[in-house]
A and B are shown apart, each in its own frame.
Chain A
């Protein structure tokens, strides 16, 4: 496959986080998340992304044909996107998988399937009844490497207080009830919310 024929679309979520939609699968083993360069060892794509000069990559999440990059650098995505795209194409063209398969779950660790079940139950029984009072809904999308991916809908989508709900409400409850969860990723397109419970005003 000619690497240059691979389509890659950058979808910046904010100044820190950008999702790259790749025209071919990058990793088919579920989701892999890298939070430090040493975790990337053996995965050429993650190694290359952490090594981009000036990008200050903090986190990489790869799942299927999606590569999400989180950076601390103030360089705009328009600049970094080209280097990230080149790294993706080069890694996909390499002799080894761009992303190595994740290690087996060690005895005693909680696997993602178990976490998914517990988080799902918490969402169904407690979180969603709470947000429903403001016409909201929280969907559990996945749990990968102990990171909860969720999407907010209804009154929560586009709500001015959505981050308070996420960080002060949901994250707090997860910390208490499912402490093995390592983080939350909100994949909601808040700009598409059509009925936010709280809408922002000028000041």
Chain B
């Protein structure tokens, strides 16, 4: 694979400043902050809520209104008059649109704002992709206030009810018949009318009803360089995602799908980015594969979520070929800053991550077996991110994993086996809610 490069921009000048859009709810803080440090970049972290150090460190910390990208862009422009910014990086769905707006305002590389907005909204992306001939499930947009029995009577089954913006399968429910549709609608309605989303705007008042697409699902991690998609990794999801909820658990790369299938999946993702107008930066796409080919389920203009990026390591170039010592976050920041990119090739080892499933509803009291899980062969780390006393909420309502398990080995199958074995060692003490 040819190494994409950007023109060298600096020599003997102060380090480039990257503006990192980091919502306070992200898992990605350490990975991105450390990546910026490793690259020697000047770092300004912008969040939607102020840091208590912002007044003391005004060049390193900034508060931006991510929900209003134009306001964020105005604030970033004012900031940049004193602290020139060379690149802007978004870490999640919420910040991707703000990133595009800031890039436009500052004349930096980025996606068109309209493209970022389209990627943010599942209905818009379905419309654009469908119009461009990308294989997507048949879909319709419905109002959450509509009569579910009427909708159920005119729906083709099996179908999937899906909110327009929530991530990680939150609120996504399969229905196989009209009775299940009505029940799923009731549940989704409760999610979208909860205080967390009340007043969020039109997106929370509507939802998609779409065909359920059978077949194995994969996650594609990619980087758009001048519109061309470079596939950084293709993850298999070996646990069947057939519903009724779609909890993501294990990701393993490289994919075990045939080469032709992988090529078709990559081509589908590339077409999807063109349909949306995305040209720059990381993308994360979910696709399915069956006898009709590749289906684009969702695409986001951001890198992989949670802490899953720790499963990915990339070669540093000819000198380090085969050995992974460059993180995904370093690639993303390098690209944003216009720095030379390393070979966009993942290390030769197989790697995987398990997003630990929520063991049940209730308050987490303790987690046992962590050391035993760490001792499982090929396990690199077990990270419990939920804290004692935290309320655990399963899908489709939940929004947090209890933790992550990482493994690396010679083949995808041994990595998958290791992840399952490590998970089996964990014991979650969850106090069930009072009934």
Contacts and interface: CB of A to CB of B under 8 A. Distances in A.
B174 interface: no
B56 A74 contact: no
Contact of A160 (B29, B167, B384, B408): B29
Contacts of B242: none
B387 A130 contact: no
A169 B51 CA distance: 8
A74 B51 contact: no
A196 B385 CA distance: 11
B51 A168 contact: yes
Tell me the dominant secondary structure on chain B's binding face.
Answer: loop
B235 interface: no
What interface size band does chain B fall in?
A: 35 or more
B29 A194 contact: no
B400 interface: yes
Interface in A107-123: none
A195 B25 contact: no
A173 B56 CA distance: 7
Contacts of A169: 51-53, 56-57, 60-61
B24 interface: yes
A133 B55 CA distance: 13
Interface in A121-135: 126, 130-131, 133-134
Interface string A72-95: 101010100000000000000000
Contact of A202 (B30, B33, B49, B399): B399
A191 B380 CA distance: 17
A18 to B, nearest CB: 11
Interface string A182-202: 000000000111111011111
Nearest to B38: A72
A75 B57 CA distance: 37
A165 interface: yes
Given A169-B60, A203-B306, 16 more contacts: A15-B380, A76-B380, A133-B52, A161-B47, A163-B33, A164-B61, A167-B43, A168-B60, A169-B57, A169-B61, A198-B25, A202-B168, A202-B305, A202-B399, A203-B93, A203-B302
Interface of B: 22, 24-27, 29-30, 33-34, 37, 43, 45, 47, 49, 51-53, 56-57, 60-61, 92-93, 167-168, 170, 302, 305-306, 310, 313, 323-325, 347, 374-375, 380-381, 383-385, 387-390, 398-401, 408
